[in-house]
Structure 1
Amino acid sequence: MAQPQVIVVGNEKGGAGKSTLAIHIVTGLLHAGHKVAIIDLDLRQQSMAHFFANRAAWTAANGHSLPMPIEPDLGDGKALARAPEEEQLAAFERVFAEAQGADAILIDTPGGDTALSRAAHARADQIVTPMNDSFVDFDLLGQVDPVTLDLIKPSIYSESVWEARKDRAIKQGRHAAIDWLVVTNRLAVAEARNRRRLEEKMTKLAKRVGFRVGPGLRDRVIYRELFPFGLTVADLSADVRPVSVSLAHVAARQEMRNLMQAMGLESSAVPALEAAA
């Protein structure tokens, strides 16, 4: 049996949009016809788990049929968050084993350096890291000189990914590389003044640390509007349309296609959306 593709959405800083990115990747894969398992390791918040619970409830109430992921049961997330690390890791190993029948496993990680997050990163075939277009977020990837803004060295999260890559190479061989994609997420529609400087530093750090830079998702109202229903723009159709569709929604779907393409996944699963009300 072929091994599932393991995608880890990770960043040690909260508020970068990990869960938003995760649910869009999952729904894109589902609409491409893949069997997807999800593991939400953000035990206290569990935004991805809540999203798909909303999806099940909304589709049942409205008589629609939409693809759903497999979700191995971690148990009470809040209780597990208070449990010893050994118990948390045992629970992760259990659900990870249960997910092996899927084509892809997507793991959403908490905003912090935890044993669970490190275990997930070590299992990754691909890591997707969202960051805001800010040097505050960039500081997790690389340190810059406060006077010249020259790159000084990789920072804490880059070192964590390096450790995950080293651990994977030891266990699976030198050719078992982890693909690392960093995406600029939650971009404001208006261009930020420092974006060009930030992109320059990102390009330099990417060459030094070994990640690719890809497109993320802008800070759009449509993403927040659809979340309570458990829907993304990939789900919208003539029948599934809980909100009116505008040109902005068409652009949002194109963003999702670009993200999937940057990850090397089928973007054709997110077809063009007509801007009819």
Structure 2
Amino acid sequence: MAHIIVVGNEKGGAGKSTVSMHLATALARLGHRVQTLDLDIRQRSLGRYTENRMAYLEKIGIDLPSPMHTELPNIEKETLDPGENANDRRLSEAVAGMEETCDFIVIDCPGSHTRLAQVAHSLADTLVTPLNDSFIDFDLLARIDADGDKILGPSVYSEMVWSARQVRAQAGLPPIDWVVLRNRLGAQQMVNKMKIEKALERLSKRIGFRVAPGFSERVVFRELFPRGLTLLDLKDVGVKQLNISNVAARQELRELIKALKLPGVEVNF
């Protein structure tokens, strides 16, 4: 059965779709069969990313390892059981159609609380939560005092993950491996950054997640989206010499894949 990776939090702008696409493409380039699913029905950032990739590769006439993207199926109301939620059926049918034919399913969640996202979290073998390095984003995980030193209690997203963990436990499934990424990091070592680092370390022990490095804030990520490319594709599309920023970004991706400790994955790029 496929290993399900859910990339989610309940706040937009943290880089979920960028992480999802780079993770899915990296796994495909490592020889794994990967399918992606975008639960942001309105914006479809990951869906658009994969469409851009297929169009650009066809335009330039090359074939690169890529994840296969799946759309949520439409469900006829008359096929639902009494009291059954249509979105629950859409997600379950999509996953059922993928999990026996691929090694990994990468699910990108919207930056808001939706029924689809809630159910997807209960399906996660690995949950990846990109988090901007600010106390505004930290508030999604926990409430903190005015000085940023004392954790007052878990916040809405942590409570949702806790509920998903309970659902999995009741179903006899393995626990979720929850990894929080410190994403879109700035270059400067500021006091605020150090406070967030210490707060995440304390919170990780309290509510049960691992902290891993994500991506630094780089212009290249915004430039790659229209062509559907990732950092690993640059040399294949004619970039002969990577600049220092691109090399550093590839190293960040390598460290991210290693930190996730996914089954059967050996990083060799």
> What TM-score, normalized by structure 1, do the two folds share?
0.88
> Which deviations, in whole Å up to 9, do the C-alpha atoms of 1:238-276 show, x marking residues without a partner?
x4136963111111100100110111144634x2xxxxx
> Which deviations, in whole Å up to 9, do the C-alpha atoms of 1:195-215 show, x marking residues without a partner?
111111100000000000000
- Which ranges of structure 1 fall in alignment gaps of 5 or more residues? 77-84, 272-277
- Which ranges of structure 2 fall in alignment gaps of 5 or more residues? 75-83
Report the CA distance shift for 1:125/1:196 in structure 2 as closer, same or farther (over 3 A). Answer: same
Whole-Å separation in 2 of the counterparts to 1:243 and 1:136? 40
Instruction: State which drifts further: 64-73 or 91-100.
Output: 64-73
Report the CA distance shift for 1:165/1:113 in structure 2 as closer, same or farther (over 3 A). Answer: same
Of 239, 245, 251, the match for 2:242: 245
Asked whether the 8 Å contact 1:11–1:130 carries over to 2, the reply is: yes
* 1:49 corresponding residue in structure 2: 47
Whole-Å separation in 2 of the counterparts to 1:197 and 1:233? 30
Within 5 Å, which residues of 2 pair with 1:193-272?
A: 193-237=191-235, 239-241=236-238, 245-265=242-262, 266=265, 268-269=267-268, 271=269
Work out whether 1:93 is the aligned partner of 2:95.
Answer: no
Asked whether the 8 Å contact 1:122–1:164 carries over to 2, the reply is: yes
Within 5 Å, which residues of 2 pair with 1:1-277?
A: 3-74=1-72, 86-100=85-99, 101-147=101-147, 149-173=149-173, 176-237=174-235, 239-241=236-238, 245-265=242-262, 266=265, 268-269=267-268, 271=269
Structure 2 residue matching 1:14: 3-state secondary structure: coil
Asked whether the 8 Å contact 2:73–2:94 carries over to 1, the reply is: no
Q: Please provide the CA RMSD for this pair.
A: 1.9
Whole-Å separation in 1 of the counterparts to 2:56 and 2:148? 52
Structure 1 residue matching 2:111: 3-state secondary structure: coil
Whole-Å separation in 2 of the counterparts to 1:223 and 1:244? 17
Whole-Å separation in 2 of the counterparts to 1:116 and 1:160? 13
Asked whether the 8 Å contact 2:257–2:267 carries over to 1, the reply is: no
> What TM-score, normalized by structure 2, do the two folds share?
0.91
Whole-Å separation in 2 of the counterparts to 1:148 and 1:55? 42
